[in-house]
A = this chain, B = another copy of it.
Amino acid sequence: MERRNFLRWSALGTVASWLEPASLLARSSPPSRPEALARPLADPSRDAIYRYIDSNLGAHIERIQEYLRQPSISAENRGIQECAALTREYLAAAGCQEAEIVPTGGHPGVWGYYDAGAKKTLVIYWMYDVQPVNPEDWTTPPFDAQVVPDTRWGANGRIIRARGAINTKGPERAFLNAVESIRAVQGGLPVNLMFICEGEEEISSAHMPDLVARYRSRLATADGVLFPSCNQGPDGRADLELGNKGIVYVELETRGDERGGPKEFEIHSSLKAAVDSPVWRLVQALASLTDATGNQVKIAGIADPIRPPTAKEEEMMEALLKEVDEEAIKRLFKVDRWIGGADKREALRKLLFDTSVNIDGIWAGYTGPGSKTILPHKANAKLDFRLVPDQRAAYIIPLLRKHLDQHGFADVKINWSNGYDWSQTDPDSALVRAALDTYSDYEVHTMTWPRIAGSAPFYLFTRELGLPLVMFGLGHGSGAHSVDEYLVIEAQPPIKGLADIEKGYVDFLFRFAA
């Protein structure tokens, strides 16, 4: 349900990946690089694949352009059917024995299966939809997918500028270029691939649970999930995120009813002397949920299931603390002080390991300029709860309802709610190892996050199917959900260009298969 740009916004440090001026996050003296390693994969066939990629790079860029030139704006149902069909064609052309459009209650999914006869199977989570655009704000038309020079990335720097370039059709098509390159040289793949593609990621992934359920028995046989992405920030560092928080989103409402208050329309505010106010009731009910600071959740039982961080998670946090430039992050978000005056360690601990409840919006009555004297007949608020292991999304609304009822707020209605559980990937899984080792091969400094504070429905894979999941990829892009979205095609170190992005996927697949 949560937009992916927010997911990335939400983590300290990961901001670097897609948002400028994220160079703010680079410390004044960059962290020391890992020792440059001899490429461990210097076998002849791998070199042949690399050469294939280098000599076909022009064609590979064209395939990315082709995909990006097909609009697929889910919110506007623009080009969705066409892009689903194109995605299916791509999977078939890449050698998938199964490649099919999957009708859902919304935009269609696409399923693909490549049987390599391999021991291991990798699931590719794929989104083919993109955000809407305001073309007049773009330097070049968002569906022209022009390749243009960009000296930010070196004297010969080039980018491809298009909606979807970084989020996420660019990285996905680059991954498929890598797959085709392996097949072109070797005639096969080191792993089996299951592609599960949705066209609703930007509009809340409403039918993703249905898609997963439909292929559940087959997906459950896999060994991990890759969400292709290009995760280098503008300073070259990459983030690897091992989990995300769960979320429950709820809309509350108070309204005059048989217990008091105006039932159908606002009335004159002087009547407050004798008439109950739904606005006061909502304010009082909300206030009962936290302490006076708004930071300590007071709903009985809500935090009980939270497990303490593991030793490994503590270790990752300590490593992150060395990387994170607290002052830069405060400047980025325009925040002077963490809650309760917390220091950097405590603030990061809360982001990684604590639950929270937030008021996303509240509204009632007159909100224009000046004064209007009314007693509104209704009031609303939107809240989101963030959940960490071992909280469960299914318990939040019952606990909230119980709290409201026990505190005398039975009149506060829950209009609707939705949400899902947290996701967690084992840091010691082969999938994570393959990602970290590949970053290391390419001398990309990596920050490993035990979890990000944001939410994404990856529990579908990690909790329901028990699969590890990583977002992985060399390369850099930005402008997701904004203007002039781009993916860097040609760059100088530490940013990797398209050839390295594709080689990185090749290496990742071989490492994972090993």
Q: Report the bound CA distance from A32 to B1 in whole Å.
A: 66
A20 within 8 A of B: no
A249 to B247, CA, bound (A): 38
Assess whether A281 is interfacial by the CB under 8 Å rule.
yes
| Chain B residues positioned under 8 Å from A373 (CB to CB) | 2-3, 6, 247, 249, 358, 360, 384, 455
- Residue in B267, B275, B335, B407 whose beta carbon sits within 8 Å of that of A338 in the complex: B275
Contact of A249 among B257, B365, B371 (CB under 8 A): B371
Given known A-B contacts A338-B275, A382-B365, A386-B272, A372 and B360 have beta carbons under 8 A apart: yes
A356 interface residue per 8 A CB criterion: yes
The answer to whether A268 touches B386, judged by C-beta atoms less than 8 angstroms apart, is no
A337 and chain B: residue at smallest CB distance: B260
Q: Report the minimal beta-carbon distance from A284 to chain B, rounded to whole angstroms.
A: 5
On whether the beta carbons of B284 and A358 are closer than 8 Å, the reply is no
Complex contacts, A358 vs chain B, CB 8 Å: 269, 272, 277, 373, 375
Bound-state CA distance A365–B384 (Å) is 13
Q: How far is the CA of A284 from the CA of B296 in the complex (A)?
A: 12
Which of A99-107, A227-235, A346-354 is the contact stretch? A346-354
Assess the A359–B364 pair: CB atoms within 8 A.
yes
Of the residues B270, B287, B380, contact of A453 by C-beta under 8 Å:
B270
How many chain A residues touch the partner (CB < 8 A)? 91
Please report which residues of chain A, range 352-381, place their CB below 8 angstroms from some CB of chain B when the two chains form the complex: 354-367, 370-377, 379-380
Question: What is the distance, in angstroms, from A367's C-beta to the closest C-beta of chain B?
Answer: 4
- Cβ contact of A294, chosen from B277, B339, B384, cutoff 8 A: B277
Complex interface residues of chain A between 263 and 284 (CB less than 8 A to chain B): 263-265, 267-277, 279-281, 283-284
Contact A339 B382 (CB under 8 A): no
Q: Which 5 A-B pairs have the closest CB atoms?
A: A280-B294, A287-B287, A361-B365, A10-B270, A270-B453
Q: A284-B292, A287-B287 are in contact. List 18 more A-B contacts (CB 8 A).
A: A2-B373, A9-B268, A10-B268, A249-B371, A260-B338, A267-B335, A269-B358, A269-B386, A270-B351, A274-B350, A279-B294, A279-B362, A281-B294, A283-B359, A284-B290, A360-B365, A360-B372, A373-B384
A-B residue pairs in contact (CB < 8 Å), sample of 12: A247-B373, A270-B386, A279-B359, A283-B359, A283-B362, A284-B290, A362-B363, A363-B363, A365-B382, A366-B382, A367-B380, A367-B382
Interfacial residues, chain A to chain B (CB-CB below 8 A): 1-3, 6, 9-11, 204, 245, 247, 249, 256-265, 267-277, 279-281, 283-284, 286-288, 290, 292-295, 333-339, 342, 347-348, 350-351, 354-367, 370-377, 379-380, 382, 384, 386, 407-408, 418, 452-455
